[in-house]
Amino acid sequence: MQNTALRTPHSEFRTSSRVLVIGLDGATYDVLVPLAESGVMPNIAGLLRTSALATLRSTEPYTTPVAWTSFQTGGDVETHGIFDYRYLDHERGEVLLNHAGRIACPTIFEEIAAAGGGVVSIDLPMTYPPRSDVRGIVVGGLDSPSAQTALAPHPKLAEALRAAGVDYDIKTIWKRKPQSYEELECGVAKTIASFQARVTAAELADGMTDWRLMVVQFQALDSLQHRCWHLLGPLEHVAEDVDARWVAETHRSLRALDDCVGKLLELAGKRDAATVAMSDHGFGDFRAKISVPEVLRQRGLLRLASSWQSVEHRAARWSWKLKKWHVRNFHGCSTAAVRRPLAALAPIDWQRSLAFAVHGELSALVYLSDATRFGSGSISMPRQREQAEADVIAAFQDARHPETGEPLFVDVYSTQRRFDCDPVSRHWPDVVAIPAPGFHTRTKFDDPGRLMLDDATLTGTHRREGVLMINAPPAIPGRRHIADMRDAAPTLLHLLGLPPAAHMTGRPLFNMLGQTGVAETSPWHAPNAPVAEPVLSASEQLVVEQRLRELGYME
Ligand SMILES: [Zn+2]
């Protein structure tokens, strides 16, 4: 295999012909290290001993679709444009699902294809539908409409999985905190089957295509931790009133995950591939949900609909749905051109509200009621916009927990100012606010007056700090470094002897590989323009939204 020359002082740097990435969704050292030490996860223990380690800082917002898109692109939100599972298409007045076609720059899979190589990717979010310039096998993740549609481009793999008796599924396993031991047992059995199905898919795909990069993602780890966080960790770290039998049962799923990691290490060994194990974000205790509309309401930036306006809102929603149905059934054409009236978007007083949020469950994603964006709205002059934006930022900066007085948001910014861009033309929110560790955000506004909301179905949630273990010949085990998500793709390319792509803002992690150096970047590949049309049908969108709801990411 042809390796590109690298301008590093260590000319003896041995590149790998292949790299296998083990995606551990939501993994954290807080769980992995104690379970490795207590013998529940021996393969992870081996990786921790022999790999160069880093605390991997996730993206802001530190959510699954954003972080795995940064993994794919080597850049942050301003590079790829993905802020959430969903985005507001203001031209249509609809909240639509993000998908691989909306990633605004090339991905590592395309970079590898441009260098003549193939890939295998199993269950990675934001890879559906597969992008055209990729070679190999890409099976989409939890944001695909179904396992069947995710596997559809690869009928041979789908058939081989069936023949192997594997029920490859992406349905939600953990819909709430388990209420009984039987419910826990059932969830653990399904989780184990889901982990094993990913490994079988990877082993089968390995026999079907030559690859330079293989990514195998274990999505169920994330939802397991959301619902069973109180049962994870070694027994002495778990609260005293928790039954040891429940903890042991939960550990069975992590032991199975560790077996799967072992099988992938074996596969990597056979193919002489370097191995990288990494999370998209970390995990920690869940505390409460913050009502984003309430933050805005308390500052007078959002006004609730009057009872008459609520009626108007419901009527607008129904008439819009009817109109779409009519167009579809009697004209047989796409309903994409049917514009949804602003009044149908949220039950607020559109004349008097300056800002609102309609999506974003682990960050506040706020839109200004700007006439340049929506055609109508309470903001029409640039000075009004500036003032409203400053007021929204202040509202989140000043938001405090009503009981403890602690700040509820750790970072608040204007997308226009931070990224020097026009958020309207890119379909980006105007203001982004990142909650403090342990807090979710909520956009459904059904309890005005209450800022903090409990959720007994969740016990754990995302943290920014995740894991990165590089198990490759030049990596130096031991010291724990700090790395950023955007550095992953350039580092994987570097291990393969390829330069980072020109659009990548991350850099190869030379320090973890015992090197100092500057990597030359590859020539700029023109990005595919993000797809403007929704690629999922209305019914597919509903299916995926229901899955996100079951996972706790939407209400
Ligand atoms: Zn995740």
Q: What is the pLDDT of residues 116-135, one digit of tens each?
A: 999 999 999 999 999 888 99
How far does residue 114's CA lie from ligand 1's centre (Å)?
28
How far does residue 217's CA lie from ligand 1's centre (Å)?
10
How far does residue 203's CA lie from ligand 1's centre (Å)?
23
Strands 465-471 and 52-57: antiparallel
How far does residue 278's CA lie from ligand 1's centre (Å)?
11
Q: What is the pLDDT of residue 543?
A: 85
How far does residue 214's CA lie from ligand 1's centre (Å)?
18
pLDDT of residue 485 exceeding 90: yes
Q: What is the pLDDT of residue 515?
A: 79
Q: Residues 59-77: pLDDT tens digits? A: 999 999 999 999 999 999 9
Q: What is the pLDDT of residue 2?
A: 36
Q: What is the pLDDT of residue 10?
A: 40
Place of tokens 């999505």: 219
Q: What is the pLDDT of residue 168?
A: 95
Distances, alpha carbon 418 to alpha carbons 358, 395, 545, in Å: 22, 18, 30
How far does residue 292's CA lie from ligand 1's centre (Å)?
22
How far does residue 342's CA lie from ligand 1's centre (Å)?
32
Q: Residues 428-447: pLDDT tens digits? A: 999 999 999 999 999 988 78
How far does residue 382's CA lie from ligand 1's centre (Å)?
38
- Could you tell me which residues come within 8 angstroms of residue 24 by beta carbon, excluding any fewer than 6 positions away? 218, 221, 257, 277, 278, 279, 467
Q: Of 128-137, 145-154, 159-168, 474-483, give the lowest mean pLDDT range.
A: 474-483
Share of the chain above pLDDT 90, in %: 70
How far does residue 468's CA lie from ligand 1's centre (Å)?
14
Which of 208, 356, 233 is CA-nearest to residue 293? 356
How far does residue 173's CA lie from ligand 1's centre (Å)?
15
pLDDT of residue 331 exceeding 50: yes
Decide if 295 contacts 399 (C-beta within 8 A): yes
Q: Which ranges of 137-243 would DSSP assign to H, the alpha helix?
A: 147-151, 155-163, 181-206, 220-228
pLDDT of residue 253 exceeding 80: yes
How far does residue 140's CA lie from ligand 1's centre (Å)?
14
Q: What is the pLDDT of residue 518?
A: 64
Q: Residues 67-108: pLDDT tens digits? A: 999 999 999 999 999 999 999 998 888 888 999 999 999 999
Token reading at 113: 């294809």
Phi, psi values for residue 166, rounded to 5° = -95, 125
How far does residue 149's CA lie from ligand 1's centre (Å)?
21
pLDDT of residue 494 exceeding 60: yes
How far does residue 424's CA lie from ligand 1's centre (Å)?
27
Which of 224, 202, 196 is CA-nearest to residue 215? 202
Q: Mean pLDDT across the stretch 340-355?
A: 80
Place of tokens 């004209």: 331
How far does residue 198's CA lie from ligand 1's centre (Å)?
16
Token reading at 551: 């996972």
Q: Mean pLDDT across the stretch 320-326?
A: 75
Instruction: Quote the distance between the C-alpha of residue 402 and its chain's center.
Output: 30
Q: What is the pLDDT of residue 554?
A: 76
Q: Could you tell me which residue, 139 or 318, shows the higher pLDDT?
A: 139
Say what the alpha-carbon torsion angle 220, 134, 201, 149 is, to the nearest 10 degrees: 70
How far does residue 280's CA lie from ligand 1's centre (Å)?
5
Q: Of 182-191, 382-391, 521-530, give the lowest mean pLDDT range.
A: 521-530
Cα 484 from Cα 505, distance rounded (Å)? 11
Q: What is the pLDDT of residue 339?
A: 61
pLDDT of residue 4 exceeding 50: no
Share of the chain above pLDDT 70, in %: 91
How far does residue 331's CA lie from ligand 1's centre (Å)?
41
Q: Could you tell me which residue, 506 or 552, shows the higher pLDDT?
A: 506
- Could you tell me which residues come within 8 angstroms of residue 420 by beta carbon, excluding any fewer than 6 positions away? none
How far does residue 281's CA lie from ligand 1's centre (Å)?
6
How far does residue 298's CA lie from ligand 1's centre (Å)?
32
Phi, psi values for residue 62, rounded to 5° = -90, 70
Decide if 73 contacts 484 (C-beta within 8 A): no
How far does residue 23's CA lie from ligand 1's centre (Å)?
10
Q: Mean pLDDT across the stretch 341-365?
A: 86
How far does residue 63's CA lie from ligand 1's centre (Å)?
6
Q: Of 3-7, 106-110, 134-138, 425-429, give the lowest mean pLDDT range.
A: 3-7
Q: Residues 212-246: pLDDT tens digits? A: 999 999 999 999 999 999 999 766 677 778 888 99
Cα 325 from Cα 125, distance rounded (Å)? 31
How far does residue 77's CA lie from ligand 1's centre (Å)?
16
How far does residue 65's CA lie from ligand 1's centre (Å)?
7
Place of tokens 């939890």: 142
pTM value is 0.91
How far does residue 130's CA lie from ligand 1's centre (Å)?
20
Q: What is the pLDDT of residue 309?
A: 74
How far does residue 172's CA lie from ligand 1's centre (Å)?
14
How far does residue 539's CA lie from ligand 1's centre (Å)?
25
Q: Residues 279-291: pLDDT tens digits? A: 999 999 999 999 9
Cα 25 from Cα 36, distance rounded (Å)? 17
DSSP for 81-144 reads ---SSEEEETTTTEEEE--GGG--S--HHHHHHHTT--EEEEEETT--SPPTT--EEEEE-TTS
In whole numbers, what is the pLDDT of the chain averaged over residues? 89
How far does residue 68's CA lie from ligand 1's centre (Å)?
8
Cα 3 from Cα 37, distance rounded (Å)? 38
Distances, alpha carbon 435 to alpha carbons 77, 115, 224, 397, 467, in Å: 17, 40, 22, 10, 21
Amino acid identity at 174: W
How far does residue 330's CA lie from ligand 1's centre (Å)?
42
Q: Which residues surround ligand 1, an ion (CB under 5 A)?
A: 25-26, 64, 222, 280
Cα 441 from Cα 432, distance rounded (Å)? 12
How far does residue 59's CA lie from ligand 1's centre (Å)?
11
DSSP annotation of 15 reads P
DSSP for 18-52 reads -EEEEEETT--HHHHHHHHHTTS-HHHHHHHHHSE
Q: What is the pLDDT of residue 8?
A: 44
pLDDT of residue 14 exceeding 80: no
Cα angle: 339, vertex 341, 346; to 5 degrees: 125
pLDDT of residue 146 exceeding 80: yes
How far does residue 25's CA lie from ligand 1's centre (Å)?
5
pLDDT of residue 316 exceeding 70: yes
pLDDT of residue 9 exceeding 60: no
How far does residue 199's CA lie from ligand 1's centre (Å)?
19
Phi, psi values for residue 286, rounded to 5° = -90, 140
pLDDT of residue 483 exceeding 60: yes
pLDDT band, very low/low/confident/very high, at 6 (cuts 50, 70, 90): very low
How far does residue 341's CA lie from ligand 1's centre (Å)?
34
Cα 345 from Cα 316, distance rounded (Å)? 9
Amino acid identity at 400: R
How far does residue 346's CA lie from ligand 1's centre (Å)?
28
Q: Of 448-457, 486-495, 514-523, give the lowest mean pLDDT range.
A: 514-523
How far does residue 71's CA lie from ligand 1's centre (Å)?
12
Q: What sign does the CA torsion over 340, 344, 345, 351 have?
A: positive
Q: What is the pLDDT of residue 474?
A: 75
How far does residue 283's CA lie from ligand 1's centre (Å)?
9
Amino acid identity at 361: E
DSSP for 280-346 reads SSEEEE--EEEEHHHHHHHTTSS-BPPHHHHHHHHHHHHHHHHHHHHIIIII-S-STT-PPPGGGT-
